[in-house]
Structure 1
């Protein structure tokens, strides 16, 4: 189905990681979860991820800072941000591409899956 598409989930909330992992696996995706930005950056995740679902508000390094760090490393992964606080959104710095979407928690799983499908259908 989507075997070659690897979706990474970066969120410090374990319940959110587990829920997204279950949802995405049941939809046919390969999934890796990370409890924070530094864990993701220190893994092979940035090089094998087809789409990144990332919380904005996390301790140590927030999701936007992670996105900017990936851009400075010339790693351009399509990113879907999720956030419990939509007011926390800020645009990424100039060198980062515009994120694909922002989903406030709780979000529609159907809309999230449709967004992922659209991302993976586009050539990057």
Structure 2
């Protein structure tokens, strides 16, 4: 039996979290929601997350700070960034840190879906080789 992929969503915007969660459920994924990076890092879900979607700008720890922390302790978690303030320097930093996608709000839901499916397929292929 195949395990249902877990998508963790970190966004300080409640309506954004709920919308993304609904989209994930419609695709058959399990979603875990967090209003801040600190809550995600303190959770046990960080150890079972197959893909992380995070906002860039949040109170407290930013998405880039979260990425840096995960690179140090959970380097295999693929990260998709979403932002309402798409700055090229931030996109470059996210990509340099290993981000799989960097999407500007509002974004096309299909673009996000394609990114997630590509990311999960790559993870499955990597696991099969191990």
Shared fold (TM-score, shorter chain, > 0.5): yes
Aligned-residue CA RMSD (Å): 1.9
Q: Secondary structure at the match of 1:89?
A: helix
Moved over 6 A (4+): none
Distance 2:113 2:54 in 1: 14
**What's 1:16 paired with?**
16
TM-score normalised by the chain length of structure 1? 0.90
TM-score normalised by the chain length of structure 2? 0.86
Q: How many aligned positions are there?
A: 121
* 1:35-64 deviations in Å (ceiling 9; x for gaps): 000000000121000000000000110001
Pairwise mapping of residues 1-124 of structure 1 onto structure 2 (< 5 A)? 3-87=3-87, 89-90=90-91, 91-92=93-94, 96=97, 98-123=98-123, 124=126
Q: Which runs of 5+ in 2 are unaligned?
A: none
Q: Which runs of 5+ in 1 are unaligned?
A: none
Higher normalized helix content (fraction of residues): 2
